[in-house]
Each structure stands twice: as C-alpha cells, then as structure tokens.
C-alpha cells in the first residue's frame, strides 16, 4: 500500500508550476472523437484520470501517441466501437462525456454508469434530458449501463433545472455536429466549459456564449483536426495557494489565469493572506495567524466546491469562528472526521460546517476519502505537528500531477512510501 508521509511545520517557499486542468482535459479528450482528423492536445497533466481517458479512447479504436510528456496526438478516424470499457468507466466521473461524444460521432453510445468521488447522490438525469431533447432515445438496460441511440441528432433548446457542469459539457458535445441550433439555458460557466468551447471552435464548430449562462451551438457537418493547449488547473492552483497560506509561507504559483482564481483569492485575502496578482502568476504570502471567515460554495464564479475541503483546513487553524455552507453537493463534509482526529473543532450540520479555530493540528494517520479531501489531508499534514501518514493516495493522484516533487521543491518534507504490511 502506497502512502504519503509528511513532516509538518515547514513554511513553503519558492515557485510551483501549475499543470493543465483536469476538468478541462477530461472533456476535451473525448471531444476529439468528434473530429474527422487527428488532433494534438498540449499541456496535458500527468494524472490518472488522463491515463484512464486515453485508455478508453484506445479501447474505442482511436490511435493515441505521446509526442512529449505533456502532448498527445489522437487519431479518431480508426474508432470502431461505441462501447466504453466497464472497468475504466467506473474509475472516474468524467467517463460520462463519452456518451455525448459518441452520440455526436456515431449516433449511438453504450457507457457504464460513471464512478468518481462520492459526495452524495450524483444523478445524470439532466444529461439524459438534454440528449432526449436532441432526439436521442434511451435503450433500457439491466446492467447499470446507459445506452442511447439517434438516427439524426437535431438541435433544440435545453433548459437545465440545476446548473450542471457535466450536463452542459455533454450537451455541447452531442450538439456540435447535430442538425440545427442547440441553445443551453442556465448553462454552467466554469473555465473548463469555456476551454471545451474554444477547442470545439478550433476544430470548426460554431459555439457562442460559453462562459455565460446561455450557450448556442449551431451544428456543423464536419470538424477538422486541431492543435490545442489545455488551460491551467484552477483547483490545483487554489490548492497550492491554500498550502502557502496555511503554512505561513511565500509561494509564487505560476502558469495560472488569475481571473479564474478570484473567488479563492478574495477569501484568502479576507483570512489575512497577502496575494499579489501578476499576468500569469499569483504570489501568496502569510505572516501571523489566519482569521476565520464565512464561505459558501457555488457554481462559477462563486467559490468552487472543489476547494471546499482544502479551505476547511485553513479555517480549522484560523483564529476565531468560520463557517462553510456547501451549495453544490449534499454530502461533502465526510473528511472533517479526519480533521477532527487531528484536533480540529468542527461541527457539521447537514450542508453547513462551523469551525472553531485551534492553535495547531496534531499529526496522525488519515485517509484520503476522495480527490479534494485527499488534498486537504496533505495541507493538514503540512501544518500539523509531527509526522502524518495519508492512505488511499490513489484518489489524490487522480488529479494532482507530481504533487510530491512539487511540494519538495517548495521545501516540504514529504515522501511517498510503500507500506509492506
């Protein structure tokens, strides 16, 4: 069993380079299926969700080749199958993007229900509603598999009852080559939605309004090959910013789009960290103790739910009271049990958590309960007194490239160890 072992108490200092965005790349790689020619995708992060997505593409028949460690060329012309591998689909949430991409490419898709992090029910009814609006039919299956078919996808208006990243992406994928105009209302506005739209446009798609709550897609008959570079990861950047603030460090977080970080910057500033924005970097410094504050997670441009566990560590050690209200998921506070075992004082009541800041956390052995909860455990380990061991690090490695090396370069005492037991 692989673990992270972290000796806490060292302020981080130096510079860290942020990798390509996980939630953008897991949408853009399936989107390559829609092209009639090979595509080259740059700034690909080395994370296990990318490995899984590329394996799914290969199993569908696409040719996948790394040109360099962060650039991959994909030729979708050799795709012969419309059926996503069961084991691979269950490893990650974003495997559901193959429904939209395969429907758009071949008019049919057979995709197992996706896996991924658990924070309460994660329905995909809005995705299905969107596909139905575009003329696809569901073919009933007994084995937890989604099978859909369309003779010809037709553009239509789709109103999303809830702002959903996944449904917005999936409908964009299905609509790119549908006949006529699709209008997605109450669309998600996350940076990765805009990144996907820009990639589709680069291939020749007609997509307008991404980044607002109304996206219009006029279907085209063909899409050509494209070279495209993935945007930097907003959440990875936010995580290193939180690490800098939590450890009382001084870190230059490079290769970021500061605009994407505004909601995080605002809260760190309110808590007493000093943030300096540059063109493509932010410097985070913190002297003295952080202050508690109130945070509510919301769809973009609100404070991202995927930064909720990381900021919770800061509230755990900040002076005074702080609160987090979770505005997206029903059950995203399970990791607080681990922080409480490290000495945090947290009371969770449904979708609200109240933090009474403590002087320090004490190292112990903890589990990464999911990807971002795992990142929170790393932050907790960096600030705790003593040596923290984190189990189930496979969750963390779904979304953080080279986290051990990046932290070491910032001066952290952290290692990946194999527990023979």
Name the site residues for ligand UD1 (rule: CB under 6 A).
Answer: 23, 26, 93-94, 121-127, 162, 164-167, 188, 305-306, 328-329
- DSSP for 46-88, please give it: --HHHHHHHHHHHHHT-EEEEEETTEEEEEGGG----B--HHH
On whether the CB atoms of residues 28 and 50 are closer than 8 A, the answer is no
- Which residue lies nearest ligand UD1, judged by its C-beta? 166
Closest distance of CB 389 from ligand UD1, Å: 26
Contacts of 48 (CB under 8 A, 6+ apart): 91, 394, 397, 398
Structure tokens, 154: 């037709």
Q: Among residues 123 and 180, whose Cβ is nearest to ligand UD1?
A: 123
The C-alpha atoms of residue 309 and residue 326 are separated, in whole angstroms, by 10
Least Å from the CB of residue 365 to ligand UD1: 26
Give min distance, CB of 173 to ligand UD1, in A. 13
CB of 10 to ligand UD1, least distance (A): 29
Q: Closer to ligand UD1 at the Cβ: 306 or 389?
A: 306
Question: Which long-range contacts does 256-262 make (Cβ < 8 Å, 24+ apart)?
Answer: 256/18, 256/232, 256/280, 256/281, 256/282, 257/191, 257/231, 257/232, 258/282, 260/191, 260/231, 260/232, 260/234, 261/234, 261/237, 262/301
Distance, CA of 162 to chain centre: 19
Q: How far is the CB of 214 from ligand UD1 (least distance, A)?
A: 17
Q: By the 8 A CB rule, do 93 and 398 touch?
A: no
**CB nearer to ligand UD1: pick between 186 and 362:** 186
For ligand UD1, give the closer residue by CB, 24 or 342: 24
DSSP-derived secondary structure for 106-121: HSEEEEEPP----SS-
User: Cis before residue 301, ω within 30 degrees of 0?
Assistant: yes
Residue count of the chain: 421
Catalytic pick among 39, 90, 117, 293? 117
Tokens linked to 373:
């909860």
Q: Of 242 and 328, which has the nearer Cβ to ligand UD1?
A: 328
Residue 3 CB partners (closer than 8 Å, separation 6+): 389, 390, 391, 393, 416, 417, 418, 419
Yes or no: say if 391 and 1 are a contact pair by the CB < 8 Å rule. Answer: yes
Both tokens assigned to 96:
């559901």
Active site residue 286: no
* C-beta closer to ligand UD1: residue 121 or 420: 121
Nearer to ligand UD1, 105 or 192 (CB): 192
Pairing, β 145-149 against β 137-139: antiparallel
* Least Cβ distance, residue 358 to ligand UD1 (angstroms): 28
As measured in angstroms, the least distance from the Cβ of 302 to ligand UD1 is 9
What residues act catalytically? 117
């Amino acid at each position: 069993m692989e673990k992270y072992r972290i000796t806490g108490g060292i302020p981080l200092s130096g510079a860290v380079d942020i990798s390509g965005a996980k939630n953008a790349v897991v949408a853009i790689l399936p989107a390559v299926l829609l092209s009639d020619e090979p595509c080259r995708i740059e700034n690909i992060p080395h994370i296990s969700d990318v490995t899984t997505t590329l394996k799914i593409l290969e199993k569908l028949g696409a040719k996948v080749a790394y040109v360099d460690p962060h650039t991959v060329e994909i030729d979708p012309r050799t795709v012969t199958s419309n059926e996503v591998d069961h084991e691979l689909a269950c490893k990650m949430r974003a495997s559901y993007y193959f429904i939209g991409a395969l429907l758009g490419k071949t008019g049919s898709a057979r995709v197992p229900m996706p896996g991924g992090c658990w924070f309460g029910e994660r329905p995909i009814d809005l995705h299905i509603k969107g596909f139905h609006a575009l003329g696809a039919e569901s073919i009933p299956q007994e084995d937890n598999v989604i099978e859909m078919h369309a003779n010809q996808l037709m553009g239509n208006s789709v109103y999303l009852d809830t702002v959903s990243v996944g449904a917005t992406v999936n409908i964009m994928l299905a609509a790119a080559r549908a006949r006529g105009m699709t209008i997605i209302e109450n669309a998600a506005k996350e940076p990765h939605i805009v990144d996907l739209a820009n990639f589709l446009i680069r291939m020749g798609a007609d997509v307008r309004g991404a980044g607002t709550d109304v996206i219009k897609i006029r279907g085209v008959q063909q899409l050509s090959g494209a070279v495209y570079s993935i945007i930097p990861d907003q959440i990875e950047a936010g995580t290193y910013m939180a690490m800098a603030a939590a450890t009382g460090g001084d870190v230059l977080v490079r290769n970021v789009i500061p605009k994407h970080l505004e909601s995080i910057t605002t809260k760190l500033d309110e808590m007493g960290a000093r943030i300096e924005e540059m063109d493509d970097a932010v410097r985070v410094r913190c002297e003295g103790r952080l202050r508690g504050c109130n945070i509510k997670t919301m769809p973009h441009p609100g404070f991202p739910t995927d930064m909720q566990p990381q900021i919770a560590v800061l509230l755990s050690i900040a002076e005074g009271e702080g609160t987090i209200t979770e505005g997206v998921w029903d059950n995203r506070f399970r990791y607080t049990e681990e922080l409480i075992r490290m000495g945090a004082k947290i009371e969770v009541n449904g979708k609200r958590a109240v933090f009474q800041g403590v002087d320090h956390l004490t190292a112990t052995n903890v589990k990464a309960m999911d990807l971002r909860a795992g990142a929170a455990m790393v932050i907790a380990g960096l600030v705790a007194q003593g040596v923290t061991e984190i189990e189930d690090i496979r969750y963390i490695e779904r979304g953080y490239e080279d986290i051990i090396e990046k932290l070491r370069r910032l001066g952290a005492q952290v290692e990946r160890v194999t527990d023979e037991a």
